[in-house]
Amino acid sequence: MVASTFGMLASIPGQTMGVGVFSEYLISKTGLNRIELSLTYMMGTILSSLILPFAGKLLDRIGGRMMIFATGIGLGLSLLFFAQTVILINTMSPVFSRFLPNGFFTLMVMTLAFMLLRQFGQGIMAMVSRNVLAKWFDENRGLVTGISGIFVSFGFSVAPLGINILMNWLGFVDTILFLSVSCGFGMAILGWLFFRDTPEECGLFMDGRADSNISEHATTPEHDSTLSDAIRSYNFWIFCLGMCSSSLIITGFTFHIGSIAQTSGLSRMDAYAIFLPMSMVSVFSYFLSGWASDKMPLKYLLMTLLASLSIGCLGLLDFETNWSRIIVIICFGIQGGVWGCLSLVTWPRFYGRMHLGAISGLFMSCQVFASAIGPTVFGTSEYLTGNYNNAAWVAVVLNILLLIGSFKAKSFYRGKRYISNGI
């Protein structure tokens, strides 16, 4: 649990809350405008999402220990490249501009940098860490998820503020180098030392049992579903789309938080300050969701996620007022905790452990693809209208439609070996 928690935290440099802190700096130093930077982020993220299904299948074959080691090395090298992007663009752009369209080299460099960060950070690092935790626990999976989520949710929520402070203190390059050593190469070593793919490798069974007796409170299904089984089920797509909606909105919001604050008459520091109270709400939400996931149908957590996103987006329409920012803090904090819980407990509960890498790999691919669209949707709204209201309204309508669809979701309980339809 401790090792996988560190793994999820180590993915922060590839998450939008980590990358988004550098957006204003990159706009000022690369010559790209906001919409161009958003497009490079989108293209890099989409390219990374195309690789994730294959990474999920590879995880099933080689296990979490080897995968986390390789991913840590990859993230460390990706951050080293990211640290040199501004220097590379400023020195090489004049050379390539002789035979390439103006600005094309800059677009390619930033797209490649974002693709690598998103692939190894948000994608594989987070996926491997969640899968290892899910494979080790069954009847206590929700509780362990809640405990881990206290630290993950807090870390994710305060990351923009913390990285922004590091940025002001150390500068762009040294901040990225620090993240490379700590989150990339450091996590590779930590993962190699402490990750084990399954408890069976250590002569144990799930939840640390020394025997294979199945508890009446077990939630892992007797039959392990394949990827093709999963994609033919309604549950996979309604839960996947619901969590993808969260990724789309939160990445768009986080990536442009500095600009959202500016259009609302707030300072950059005021904008990043909302992440601290949001983290407090998210920590409580994560723990409560983890506890509740062992005791109630998951469809109700999905409904909570979608309702919180809808109300939070309404708060963005009047972000300059204190009450609206409080609404955003509470609702986005709640969805952050619920999303973290669902992303970990949903797939092993519905589909088992054997093909968990392939199933979660497809989910992560969809989720990363959605996160690619978010900054572009929000950036386009600001580019065309001067504010983010249109993006907020689109998000509200999307989540209401998904909320209606979530009523048809089913929750599969394995306690005492029966299946409940969640009604």
Structural domain includes residue 321? yes
What total of structural domains would you count in the chain? 1
Structural domain includes residue 53? yes
pLDDT at site 215: 53
CATH number of the CATH domain containing 62:
1.20.1250.20
CA separation for the pair 205, 209 (Å, rounded)? 5
Q: Say how far residue 80 (Cα) sits from the centre of its chain.
A: 22
pLDDT at site 380: 83
Structural domain includes residue 252? yes
- Write the pLDDT tens digit of every residue in 54-88: 888 888 888 888 999 999 999 999 999 999 888 88
Tokens of 169: 């203190």
207: left (phi over 0), alpha (psi -120 to 50) or beta: left
The set of residues, in sequence order, having a beta carbon less than 8 Å from that of 66 and lying 6+ positions away, is: none
Structural domain includes residue 206? no
pLDDT at site 192: 93
Structural domain includes residue 180? yes
Instruction: Tell me how far apart the terminal alpha carbons of the chain are, to the nearest angstrom.
Output: 32
Structural domain includes residue 422? no
Structural domain includes residue 416? no
Closest by CA position to 9, among listed 236, 131, 164, 184: 184
> Are the C-beta atoms of 253 and 332 separated by less than 8 Å?
yes
Structural domain includes residue 329? yes
Most distant CA pair in the chain, distance: 70
> Are the C-beta atoms of 162 and 168 separated by less than 8 Å?
no
pTM across the whole model: 0.72
Domain containing 54 equals 2-198+218-406
Q: Is 404 exposed, middle or buried (0-12, 13-18, 19+ CB in 10 A)?
A: exposed
Q: How many CA atoms lie within 13 A of 313 on its CB side?
A: 27
Q: Tokens 């989720």: give the residue.
A: 367
Specify the amino acid at residue 73: I
Specify the amino acid at residue 150: I
* Angle between helical axes of 126-136 and 64-83 (0-180°, round to 10): 160
List the chain residues with pLDDT less than 50: 216-217, 413-423
